[in-house]
Amino acid sequence: MLNELNPNPAYVIGKKWDFLAWNKAADAVFTINKVSPPHDYNLMWRQFTDPVWKEGSEDWERVSRRMIAEFRTSRARYLNDDSFDKLIEDLKGTSADFTRMWQYHEVPSSLDGYKRLLHPTLGVIEFEHVTLQFPNEPDQRIMIYMPQSTTKSRLEHYFTHE
């Protein structure tokens, strides 16, 4: 299904926000296959440790605070899962921004909606973003980015000339 969504970037994340599956477009936009030790395939880790993600986000601070609020909710369902503690401690040890924002205890709100990113190769790209939850797997969510017209043509061109 993810491959059928190309050139719309789409990926699935699990309970700890690890990337579980993604399509070619998602890898092109978010460089999911790029190694990022020690949490290579974790969305929160990328958000707070990858300078390309920070520099490429139009409103990184606001988005990051909303992500932490949502992540905190995920964490609350698994208080006995030490792997969450390890990720949180690693984030605190690596990112002053994460440490500062983790203290806020904000109310979660939807991360869906308009996204504008500055991609190192594709330039400014714009999407409508929607999150869908799997009814039989509530810990897994699929994130789908529907490109705006100029972004869609750029992504289509990227895939035909790759």
| DSSP state string for 26-74 | HHHHH-TTS--TTSTTBHHHHHHH-HHHHHHBTTHHHHHHHHHHHHHHH
CATH 3.40.1550.20 given to domain 3-160: no
Q: 36 burial class (0-12, 13-18, 19+ CB within 10 angstroms)?
A: middle
Question: Amino acid identity, residue 112?
Answer: D
Torsion of CA 49, 138, 25, 95, to 10 degrees: 0
Output the pTM of the full model. 0.87
Is the distance from CB of 12 to CB of 140 less than 8 angstroms?
Answer: yes
As given in the structure block, the two tokens for residue 153 are 């043509």
Query: Domain limits of the chain?
Result: 3-160
List per-residue pLDDT tens for the chain, 162 residues long. 999 998 899 999 999 999 999 999 999 999 999 989 999 999 999 999 999 889 888 889 988 998 999 899 889 989 889 999 999 999 999 999 999 999 987 766 666 778 888 888 888 888 999 999 888 888 899 999 999 878 888 888 777 766
Which of 56, 38, 36, 32 has the alpha carbon at shortest distance from 120?
A: 56
